[in-house]
Chains A and B, each alone.
Chain A
Amino acid sequence: MKDFFVARLKDLLPTLFGISLISFFIIRMIPGDPVLLLLGERGADPVVYQEMKKELGLDKPMASQYVPYLGNALRGDFGKSIISKREVSEEFWDRFPATLELGLAALFFAAVIGIPLGIISAIKKGSFLDFFFMTTSLVGYSMPIFWWGLILIMIFSVGFGLTPVSGRIDIFYEVPTITGFYLIDTLINPTLLKEEGLAPFFSAIDHLILPALAMGTIPLAVLARMTRSSMLEVLDEDYMRTATAKGLPPFRVIMIHGFRNALIPIITVMGLLFGSIVTGAILTETIFSWPGIGKWLVASINARDYPVIQGGVLFIASLIVFINLSIDFLSKIINPRLRSDDL
């Protein structure tokens, strides 16, 4: 067990090193002079040019640029945005809660619907219901979510006028940041509660529904399929027959004896899905103008704000590496069968 943790940690260092190299080269691999590109081709002022070059860390030879770059990154200094002039890390943490709130809502939606669908399909294996659920989930799995989001807007916002089209909350509500989650901040802020009541909270929910639905569609499909196959494996086990033979009610047999044992692969998949939230965020946030890191990155790329791209990429990739590592550890800890065979 301990060997496993040590080995995984040892593999982590080269991965992180590689990630830092990739983000280091982003700005340096642009064909031509990135400084001229940023300042515009129209004869930049030589003083400004040198300043910019120094700020981007491009003034020294390539080999001696990496060490200071890594040192700064380890201290949490990812440079400054060219557009807003603010620290990249500051901008990141400003936007991260919005993405996290959306991602958690999407996963919640996916789990609440996907897991029951998978369980029902497994119990009714081979039935029309099973065929219908699994076909639907494959359609969901193939869904181009950037299109799906637009279709949802078309149906629910434009067609029925039920939900807003974009943003996190109605613009006339001012929500001071406490946790960064609007669903929590609107409830725990006493002044806001006194003045507006629960209206801001419901406005935040209204804004969250469609993006969460769009973003949760692929995870829902993955979870439904995973739950089904995991349940099918468990349903054949002897202890299931024993539980039924004891005369336990079917619901109890399926949920307590079956589902609990089918849970480990499902949890692992949920962890992996959590890592894929960022992918979903980039597309979903662009469609719904959700002020999270996905929209931020796309905007930075369109504005050629290279320090932001560089820092954002490094941040997100490192985050995902650590999430994957935690899942590895977690599934080792939850699953006694994995614990015994080290590595």
Chain B
Amino acid sequence: MDLIVIMKRTFDTEDRISIKNGLIDEEEAEFIINPYDEYAIEEAILLREKHGGEVKVVTVGDEEAEKELRTALAMGADKAVLIDTEDVDVELDHFSIAEILTSYLKTQDFDMILGGNLAIDDGSGQVAPRVARKLDINLVTTITKIEVEGDKVTIERDVEGDVETVETTLPVLVTCQQGLNEPRYPSLPGIMKAKKKPLETIDYDDLDLEEEDIQAKSKSVELYLPPERTAGRVLKGDMEEQAKELVELLKTKSKVL
């Protein structure tokens, strides 16, 4: 089975966030594989272990993303591809990234494409469903279980807490939700092997695309931090008094009961 994972390198949002010159300050930030994409990489490896084939991880970005691609290779992916957009002069958004990925994926053979449910930095979850549509292949989002038998794919997906079982056929694009699997950590031999695995860089120029084809349709005009929450009141007295006071405060002061 030919499996392609579309991956994003993200800012670790467990880090502290600050804004510098109107942009998120990335200087001291830790970058990671988007956690939802780790589920996608893990599931692709599990499917390969079961059905054979190859796992290729693709990302759009600059050469800094090579580190995360190597991590994916160390986890067990076979090949990695970086679509380098460093020299692109126009702004990019979800539309743009989906256009870039689609034009690459159209030239590839695959049975399944896996991605994360969303990226934890931007949180939109747009790119994968857009790609499925552009490729005109089946789409199943927020999956928590997947089984493949020949061409038939049976999937469990999370629909706001309920579990929906769907049936579809290959080729399919799935987005991975938490609960699907437990992503492995790269092992030491895995890390050694990853150094020798192929990591290909494709310039976006090599994809049949003009800058005007990928120009963003949306634009970020301002970034700001929310007011910091400060500690409120720690109630005093015996437990019964505290419980009574809490209910009273919620009713009369905060007016949320």
The reply to whether chain A is a binding partner of chain B is no
Using a CB–CB cutoff of 8 Å, the interface residues on chain A facing chain B are: none
